[in-house]
Amino acid sequence: MLYVIGIGPGNEEFFTKEAENILNSVDMIVCYKGYKEYIERFQKEIYVNGMTKEVERVEYALNQAKNKTVALVSNGDATIYGLASLAFELNEKNFEKVEINVVSGITSASICSAILGAPLNHDFSVVSLSDLLTPLEKILKRIICAFESDMILAIYNPLGKKRKEPFLSALEIILDYSKDRNIDYVIGIVKNAGRDKQEYKITTINGILENLDYYMDYIDMSTTLIVGNSNTKIINGKMITPRGYLSKY
């Protein structure tokens, strides 16, 4: 039996009871090496490996799950950029199949929204800027479509040390819509959300462009951005997207 479990950002307070109970009950835990610190407290047998070794990691977990109860742990939610779909795909190829259960966790967009105030309080899109598995053209089209239809946009994996182009292209798209519509879109930037050293900044597209070198250095792979819709505003230093109650009632 394989559980694919989302643990949220990692700190104990963001685990659901469901995830906590299952992790206490399994025989072994498999995860990315960077997340080992978050699951050591369960005192289970642990298998970890590194980035780009996801296929090997999931194969290992499936193999162990033939005669053990195994938890394959993902950061955030188990499905949102997690390893759940890969587990189903590889299981399908195997002669001996195992039962797979998926356990939800809190995704970064939720945590960041709470930290920033309430920016994610209307229709939204979630897009990863990592072009390792997705063509950049497709990613940018999604960003254009989010702005075209005035959705809030959560951006995952914005900048890698060697991957600057997707972020710069995304900023260009936001700037184009900003000029066209005369809206200085509010942008919330959260670093290490829900972890030690958590910090955040709330600025706008023009604020970022005016200090581009600073933000290119500040934003990294542990950062999530939330770009507001046309109604998003800053209230007392927090980023808020009205749901529409006050204009309606």
Residues 117-156 that bind a copy of itself (CB under 8 A): 117-128, 132-134, 138-139, 141-142, 144-146, 148-151
Rounded CA gap, 143 and 155, in Å?
9
Q: What SS3 string covers 33-67?
A: HHHHHHHHHHCCEEEEECCCCHHHHHHHHHHHCCC
Q: Which of residues 218-247 bind a copy of itself (CB under 8 A)?
A: 235-236, 238, 240-246
Rounded CA gap, 64 and 86, in Å?
16
Q: Which is nearer to a copy of itself, 125 or 169 (CB)?
A: 125
Rounded CA gap, 119 and 233, in Å?
8
Bridging pattern class, strands 2-6 and 70-74: parallel
- Give the residue, chosen from 13, 96, 180, 213, that forms a contact with a copy of itself under the rule CB under 8 A: 13
Q: Which is nearer to a copy of itself, 81 or 185 (CB)?
A: 81
Q: Mark the segment that binds a copy of itself (CB under 8 A) among 30-38, 97-105, 163-171, 205-213.
A: 97-105
Q: Which is nearer to a copy of itself, 29 or 116 (CB)?
A: 116
Spell out the residues 6+ positions from residue 36 whose beta carbon is closer than 8 angstroms to its own.
Answer: 46, 48
**185 near a copy of itself, judged by CB under 8 A:** no
Total residues interacting with a copy of itself, rule: CB under 8 A: 82
Which residue's structure tokens are 């005369």? 182
- Work out how close the CB of 214 gets to a copy of itself at its nearest, in angstroms, rounded to a whole number: 27
Contact indicator for 28, 71 with CB cutoff of 8 Å = yes
Rounded CA gap, 102 and 77, in Å?
10
- Give the residue, chosen from 2, 10, 14, 167, that forms a contact with a copy of itself under the rule CB under 8 A: 14
- Give the residue, chosen from 32, 47, 60, 88, that forms a contact with a copy of itself under the rule CB under 8 A: 88
CA angle in degrees (0–180, nearest 5) for 20-24-28 = 115
The 193-222 contact track toward a copy of itself, x by CB under 8 A, reads ------------------------------
| Single-letter residue type at 79 | T
